[in-house]
């Protein structure tokens, strides 16, 4: 991976990096840089031309009573506890490595560096925080930073629902793309991204002084 630390990152710099395949966590940006390997494919979903399937509409109906709040990224006991619960669940379900996370580490990863572009979409059921979707607003779309949810509410499919809400938000803001990050065909945690069509692939990673080329996926 190639890493960059950007203190005081503004909208224009974050926008340029995201459109060239960088992913932001706090003040750190990263992109794949593996010699001879191109398995990590950066994709962006066409929000304006996305068609909601019957399954997607069912998920939307299941969440009719789910409360949604759009705000700046927040840090409190509920967020950290939910994050830990989600990752312990994923450790058992998909054998993710579990790393203990405290307030400081959460702040560094998901709150620091948000400036005016970083947002949080929080999901509540009966006043209880059940999902957090962290995103960046770009000039032409929304960059999906990270999403986690309460596994006790798995029947609500908050992971999928959060992506549908990103698409709806992009349409409200007249933004075309949802930058989903890396798709890896043989990775269960990333392969699902190819299900959201139509989408484009980043042809290759280019420096800031070159124009990125996105190609329509067949």
**pLDDT digit string, tens, across residues 59-91:** 999 999 999 999 999 999 999 999 999 988 888
* Backbone angles phi and psi of 185, in degrees to 5: -55, -40
Model's pTM, two decimal places?
0.92
Given a cut of 50, the residues of the chain with pLDDT beneath it are none
Tokens standing for residue 147:
């999403």
- The pLDDT score that the predictor gives to residue 125 is 97
Structural domain boundaries, residue 18:
2-216
CB-based contacts of 202: which residues, under 8 Å, 6+ apart?
20, 21, 41, 42, 43, 44, 212, 213, 214
* pLDDT score, position 161: 97
CA 153 vs CA 50, 67, 82, 129, 157: distances in Å:
26, 14, 12, 11, 8
Q: Quote the pLDDT of residue 188.
A: 64
**Tokens of residue 120, six digits:** 């949080």
| Neighbouring residues of 97: CB distance < 8 A, sequence distance ≥ 6 | 91
Cβ atoms 216, 200 nearer than 8 A: yes
- Pick the closest to residue 178 from 32, 41, 48 (CA basis): 48
Number of domains in the chain: 1
- pLDDT recorded at residue 24: 97
CATH number, residue 85 = 3.40.630.30
């Amino acid at each position: 991976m190639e890493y960059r630390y950007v203190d005081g990152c503004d909208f224009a710099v974050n926008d340029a990096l995201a459109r060239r395949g960088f992913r932001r966590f706090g003040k750190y940006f990263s992109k794949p840089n593996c010699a001879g390997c191109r398995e990590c494919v950066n994709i962006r979903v066409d929000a304006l031309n996305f068609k909601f399937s019957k399954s997607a509409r069912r998920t939307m109906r299941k969440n009719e009573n789910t409360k949604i709040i759009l705000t700046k990224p927040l840090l409190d006991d509920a967020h950290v506890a939910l994050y830990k619960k989600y990752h312990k669940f994923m450790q058992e379900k998909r054998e993710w490595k579990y790393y203990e996370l405290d307030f400081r580490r959460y702040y560094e990863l998901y709150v620091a560096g948000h400036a005016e572009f970083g947002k949080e979409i929080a999901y509540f059921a009966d006043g209880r925080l059940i999902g957090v979707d962290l995103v960046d607003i770009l000039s032409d779309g929304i960059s999906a930073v990270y999403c986690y949810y309460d596994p006790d509410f798995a029947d609500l499919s908050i992971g999928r629902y959060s992506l549908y809400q990103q698409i709806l938000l992009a349409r409200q803001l007249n933004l075309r793309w949802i930058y989903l990050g890396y798709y890896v065909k043989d990775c269960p945690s990333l392969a699902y991204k190819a299900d959201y069509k139509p989408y484009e692939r980043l042809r290759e990673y280019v420096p800031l002084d070159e124009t990125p080329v996105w190609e329509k996926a067949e």
